[in-house]
Amino acid sequence: MAQTITLYVDGACRGNPGLGGWGAYVITETEEHKLYGGVPETTNNRMELSAAIEGIKFCPSDAKLIIWTDSNYVKQGITEWIHGWKKKNWKDVKNPDLWKLLDATCQGREIEWNWIKGHAGHPGNEMADQLANLGADQTLKAMKNPALKAEQSSAEAVVVDKKKVEKDWLLDDPFGFDLIESDLQDDSEALENLEQDMLQPEDINDQAEAQDTMIENAAPDLINVEHPHIVITPRTRQVHGPRQLILDTETTGFYFQDTDRIIEVGAIEMVNRKLTGSSIHIYINPKKPVGDSENIHGISDAFLQDKPVYAEIADVLFEYLKGAEIIAHNASFDMNFLDMEFKRAGLVALSEVCEVTDTLAMAKSKHPGQKNSLNALVRRYEIPQRDRTFHGALLDAEILADVYLAMTGGQVSFDMDTLTESEQQEAQTARLSVQVELPVILPSEQELEAHETWVKEFEEKHGTACLFAK
């Protein structure tokens, strides 16, 4: 039976066009492989395509591939738009050389294409992003010191890409996402550690060693840990501002006063309404049976047997959480348990050093008389569904982050019905008094022709007409 291989692919570009890199994180049934490369002058879209091509070429032709990319350009291009491009013989298609190469590379293979939200803290996507940036860094070093080129192996060879792309950011990237330069790591020592890890082709068999490497590259303001059961992922973007931690716990029962204990803690970090990529996740041995609660979270006594007790992880967890705003759904439940556990470990209550926001209370205020469970809010705000057969702390924290952003964001509506009659009359008078005859400037024939060409190119590239043509 053919093996199944999972690939996370990503591209990075510092300027568009500019220095770029691609990364492919390949996970087989028994091994992990980290591939990357770079180009001195390229675009983000070309690097996204290169990552997919190199990742697929690396895998055996008879394997089933499950590919995750945060580029809708790649995912929709290869699954939808490419059929129309072929019929039109690739006319007016951007990056035709790479699209043809990707199409040829995919022939005869069983591939499942998936989109994943970028920079949202998913370990596979974050690893691919790190690899892409490492590819760009290695290319920059090779540009400064040509002697380094001979030392690069095929896994990280710099891809030759001399194609000059017309700098039409609106056509290539109508929403301007590619104009945001990739965040650069300020800590040179952390970068060197990351390079040393990436350049090793051997498999990482020691879970503790892998976690230590990841933690060493964490944001400088986060505590370093060496415990193999404490997983702290590093920040993938440099941000400044108050920390918010979207948090969830799993417990052996509902009553913190009645010897029930915490068995799992998960929290993800957000600053200025942006997820930083940092998170903490810990399983904890409660030293008592989980009982019927296993039906909710799916965590068994056997699974928790070799996990640390709360006292062993309390200091690290407290250091990560303290000073942040804790955001939780039915926050009193989580905070009561956390306060109890930290006091047992000889620390102060977490609620004394953290501000707490309860999204359940927010939802009840915003939607009185309606169901306000996490599942109900996911449906109400049309948040992408995830498998919640069992509740997991980190999974629920990720879902809650989407819910919180949806509940606290959005456009403010201005209801004219709430204005008094006199206010409406004043507004109408003000509108009537401002009547200026504005000159009409008609486009020239050359401008109209250029506009039609642009609209046509947009439709060819994205597979759908732009707003101007609808």
Residue 241: which of 277, 280, 273, 279 has the closest Cα? 273
Residue 307: which of 230, 412, 378, 399 has the closest Cα? 230
* Binding-site residues from annotation for Mg(2+): 10, 48, 70, 129
The number of angstroms, rounded, from the C-alpha of 352 to the middle of its chain's C-alpha atoms is: 31
Q: What are phi and psi of 226, to 5 degrees?
A: -125, 0
Give the active site residues: 391
Residue pair 51/20 in contact (Cβ under 8 Å)? The answer is no
Q: What are phi and psi of 74, to 5 degrees?
A: -75, -50
Sign of CA dihedral 80, 83, 85, 88: negative
Residue 68: which of 26, 131, 99 has the closest Cα? 26
Compute the residue count for the chain: 470
3-state secondary structure of 246: strand
Cis peptide before 17 (omega within 30 of 0): yes
Residue pair 343/350 in contact (Cβ under 8 Å)? The answer is no
Q: What are phi and psi of 6, to 5 degrees?
A: -105, 130
**Bridge pairing between strands 325-328 and 243-251:** parallel
CA distance 333 to 73: 43
- Specify the residue for token string 């204005």: 419
DSSP state letter for 74: H
Q: Give Cβ neighbours of residue 412 (< 8 Å, ≥ 6 apart).
A: none
Q: Which helix (H) or strand (E) holds 277?
A: strand 274-283
Cα end-to-end span (Å), the chain: 49
CA distance 275 to 51: 24
DSSP state letter for 375: H
